[in-house]
Structure 1
Amino acid sequence: MPSTNLHFMLASLPGAEHSMPLFDVLHVPPSTLRPRSDAVSRIEIAQALNMLLFEKLLKAVPHGNDYVADAVRVGSKVRFDHGALRTVLGISTGMLPAGEAAFTRILRPLGYRLNGVYPLQRLSMTGRAYAHEDAPEDIAQFFVSELHPHHFSATFQTTVNKILATSQDPLDAHSKQLLQHLSTHRSLAGTEALALLPVLVRCFDRQHSLPTIAEYRTLLAESAEMAWISTEGNAFNHATDRVADVAAVADAQRQLGRPIKDAIEVSRNGRVRQTAFRACPVTRMMQDEDGTPVEMQVPGSFYEFISRERYLDEDTQTDKLDLSFDSGNAQGIFKMTAAAAPPVLVDA
C-alpha cells in the first residue's frame, strides 16, 4: 500500500500508471508527503492537483515533454514553479462563473491566497498570482489572467459572447459541497479527495463550443489571446520549471534545435528571469462558411522556464524567494501563443 496520502491519491486515480512516475519527474515538497491517514489536508490535495495538471500539460506540449525526459535521464527533477491559465471577464460565460471567479472558488479552499495583481495593458488583460499559504515557496503558484472584452470592438464582443455563452460548469453540486467543507475544515476524507480531484482537473479545460473559422479569425484580428481562449479555454496556457540559470537552459535547448524564445524577459527589480518554448500547434475541428467541419491548426500551450533570486525582506528581516511576477515579463511570455497567422488548414 502507498505510504503517503499523496501516493495513495495518485495511485488510486484512473491513469495511475502515468501519474506515479511523476514522483521521479517532479520535486515533491516534503510537507506534502504525509503518512497515510483517514483525512487528507488541503496542501496534499493542492499538490496532487498540481502534479496532475503538470502531467496534462506535458501530454499537450511535446517540446516540454522532451525536455523533462532529458532531465529524468540525467537524474534531475523539475521544480514546478507555476501554471498559467486564461479567463474572460465582463461578458456572458454561460453556466461558468466569469473571469477568475471560476478558479478562485477552487484555489481558495485549497489554501491559495492572492499574491499580486499585474495589469497587462497591452493585451487588455489583468493577471493575478495565487500562492499557497502553507508553503508558498514550495507549492506551484497559479497565474490567472482575465481578458476584458469591452476594450475591443462591438463585433469582437458579440463573437466572444456567442462562443462563451455555451460554457458548461464542470463543478457539480457535490464537488461544490466538498470545496466548502475543505474551505472550513482544511481537510477531506480520503474517499472525498479522490472524488473531487478528477473534477478539479476537468475545470482546467475548454468548457465552451469551438468557434467557427470565421469567428476565430474575427477574434484573432483583435486579440491573439482571445483567439487562443476560444480554442483552448481554461487549459494551462503554460507550466513553468524553476531553474537556477534561465540563460544557460535557453542556450542548451537552442543547441538541441528546440524552438525557444530568442530573448529572456527580466523583471524590473532584476530578480525574476523568464523564457519559454514557442507554443506547440494543435489541431481543432472548426466549421467553415458552409458549416462543414474542417481540421485547423492553431497555437496550443507551451513550456516555460523561470529563475527567481532570494532577497532580504526589509519589513521582516527575513530571507525570501522572490515569488513575484512582472507585467512586462508576462506580456512578453504571452506572445508565445500569438502565432500571428490565421488558422492553418490541415491537409487531408
Structure 2
Amino acid sequence: MSSTNLQYMLTSLLGAEHANQLSDLLQIPASTLRPRADTVSRIEIAQALNMLLFEKLLKAVPQGNDYVQDSVRAGNKIRFDHGALRTVLGISTGTLPAGEAAFTRILRPLGYHVNGVYPLQRISMTGRAYAHEDDAEEIAQFFLSELHPHHFSSEFQATVNKVLSTSQDPVDAHSAQLLQQLGNDKSLPLADALALLPVLVACFDRQHALPSIAEYQVLLAESAEMAWISTEGNAFNHATDRVANVEQVADAQRALGRAIKEKIEVSRNGRVRQTAFRASTVTRPMRDDNGVMVEMKVPGSFYEFISRDRYLDEETRQEKLDLTFDSGNAQGIFKMTASSNAASC
C-alpha cells in the first residue's frame, strides 16, 4: 500500500507512522488502492477523507476506540459502513450554507449521490443517505440529517437562529474552486488534493459559537437533537462498523461491561440490524446567567454497529448488499445522544 496515492496522501498529512497505524485499523477497499501518480481520483480522495474522519471520531469516543483496538489486537479490521452528521434547515447560519447544502457541495464532487430519503418525523428531521457512485458497497456512506426548526416554538426558532448565526464557513474560495474542478474532472492534481483534504476535515466540526446555558436549556426542552447540534455542530454524530452479526457483537461488548444499547434496531425488511454504544459525555464551556463561564457536561458522539444482509434484486436478478437505512432504526439510534439535562462539572 505504500506505493499508492491513498497512502501517500495519508503519509503527507499525518506522517508515516501515524498513517500506517490508521491504515492498520480499517479494511481498505481495493478500488482505492491505485498506483502513485500526479493525479488522484475522487474515490481516492473520498477514502482518505473517510479514514481521517473515522479517526477523528475515535478520538472523541473512548469506548469506540477501545473496541477498535481490541479488534485490531484480535487480528480483525474495521469495515467502515457510514458516518452520520446533523444540519439545520431554513435558519440563519452565518456564512455557512444552511442545511445539507453545506455538505452536498462536498459530497457530490467526491462522487456521492442520494441513495435514499428517510423522514424522521418523531424528531422533526429528514435523513438522506449518500452512497459513492464508484463503489457503493465498499466506500463508507454518509447519513446526513436536517432538523426543521419551523416545527418548534417561536422561542426555540429564535434561539436556534441566534446560536447558528455565528457560523463561519471553513471552505475558502480556493477550496470551493478545487471542489468545482473535482466535480468536473473527477480527479485533482495530487498537490491540490493534499491542500483540499484538511479543509474538508474541518467542515465536520462545530462552526458556530457555543450557546449559553439558558440557550442550551431552551433547545434541549424541545429537541435533544438540536441541543446536540448547538454544542457539537456538524461533527460526526457517530461512525458505524459493519459486522457480520450485530447481536453477537452486542453480547460480547455487554459482557465486557461496556455501555451498549439494550435493543437491536431491526429494519422493516429485516435485513438491516443496528445497535450502538452510549454516547460519550463531553464538557463544553457555557456562560451562566451572570456571564460566568461554566464547564457543562453534555452528550458527545458515539460508535455504532450494523449488520447488512445480501438480497436478490428482483429487477436486475443480481445479488446486492442492502445499503438502505430505516427511519425507525435511525430514530432509535439517535436516542443515544439524548440527555434530560446538562450538568455542570
Same fold (TM over 0.5): yes
Corresponding residue number in structure 2 for 1:195: 195
Mapped to 2, the partners of 1:267 and 1:19 lie a distance apart of 36
Deviation string for 1:12-43 (max 9, x for gaps)? 01466433312111000011010000100000
Number of the residue aligned with 2:82: 82
Alignment pair present for 1:121 and 2:121: yes
What amino acid maps onto 2:181 in structure 1?
Answer: H
Please tell me whether residue 25 in structure 1 is matched to residue 25 in structure 2.
yes
How many Å apart are 1:127 and its aligned residue? 0.1
Q: Unaligned regions of 5+ residues in structure 2, if any? A: none
> Could you report, residue by residue, the CA deviation over 1:262-281 in whole angstroms, capped at 9, with x for unpaired residues?
10000000000000000000
Secondary structure of 2:298's counterpart equals: strand
Please tell me the residue identity of whatever aligns with 2:84: A
Q: Which residue identity lines up with residue 259 of structure 2 in the other structure?
A: P
| Residues 250-305 of structure 1, C-alpha deviations (whole Å, 9 max, x = no match) | 00000000000010000000000000000000010000001111101100000000
Equivalent residue, structure 1, for 2:219? 219
Q: Is the 8 A contact 1:80 1:239 kept in 2?
A: yes
Cα distance in 1 for partners of 2:287, 2:14 equals 33
Aligned equivalents of 1:144 and 1:120: distance in 2?
Answer: 12
CA distance in structure 2 between the partners assigned to 1:189 and 1:149 by the alignment: 41
Give 3-state SS (helix, strand or coil) of 1:143's partner. Answer: strand
Q: Distance in 2 between matches of 1:219 and 1:15?
A: 41
Percent identity of equivalent pairs: 77
3-state DSSP of counterpart to 1:289: coil
Give the letter for the 1:117 counterpart. V
TM normalised by structure 2 equals 0.99
Alignment partners' CA distance in 2, 1:18 and 1:279: 26
Aligned pairs for 1:167-206 (under 5 A) are 167-206=167-206
CA distance in 1 between partners of 2:290 and 2:277 (Å): 36
Query: Which residue type is aligned with residue 26 of structure 1?
Result: L
Residue 98 of structure 1 is matched in structure 2 by 98
Contact 2:83 2:238 in 1 (8 A): yes
Asked if the contact 1:57/1:236 (under 8 Å) is kept, the reply is yes
Matched, 1:135 2:135: yes
Q: Kindly provide the CA deviation profile for residues 226-253 of structure 1, in whole angstroms up to 9, marking residues without a partner as x.
A: 0000000000000000000000000000
User: Corresponding residue for 2:299?
Assistant: 299
What TM-score do the two structures reach when normalised by structure 1? 0.98
- Classify the secondary structure of the residue corresponding to 1:122: helix
Q: Which runs of 5+ in 1 are unaligned?
A: none
- Quote the residue 1:50 is aligned against: 50
8 Å Cα contact 2:267/2:329 also seen in 1 = yes
Secondary structure of the residue aligned to 1:20 is helix
Q: Counterpart of 1:47 in 2: which secondary structure?
A: helix
2:9, 2:48 within 8 Å by CA — same for their partners in 1? Answer: yes
Paired with 1:316 and 1:82, the residues of 2 have a C-alpha distance of: 25
Kept in 2, the 8 Å contact 1:19–1:52? The answer is no
1:289 and 1:256 map into 2 onto residues whose CA distance is 42
Question: What is the aligned residue count?
Answer: 345
Give the alignment of 1:256-295 within 5 angstroms: 256-295=256-295
Render the CA deviation track for 1:33-71: whole Å, top value 9, x for unaligned. 100001000000000000000000000000000000000
For the 8 Å contact 1:19–1:55, the answer to whether it is kept is no
**Does the aligned pair in 2 maintain the 1:237–1:302 contact within 8 Å?**
yes
Aligned-residue CA RMSD (Å):
0.9
CA distance in 2, matches of 1:136, 1:10: 22
Quote the Cα distance in structure 2 between the aligned partners of 1:17 and 1:205.
25
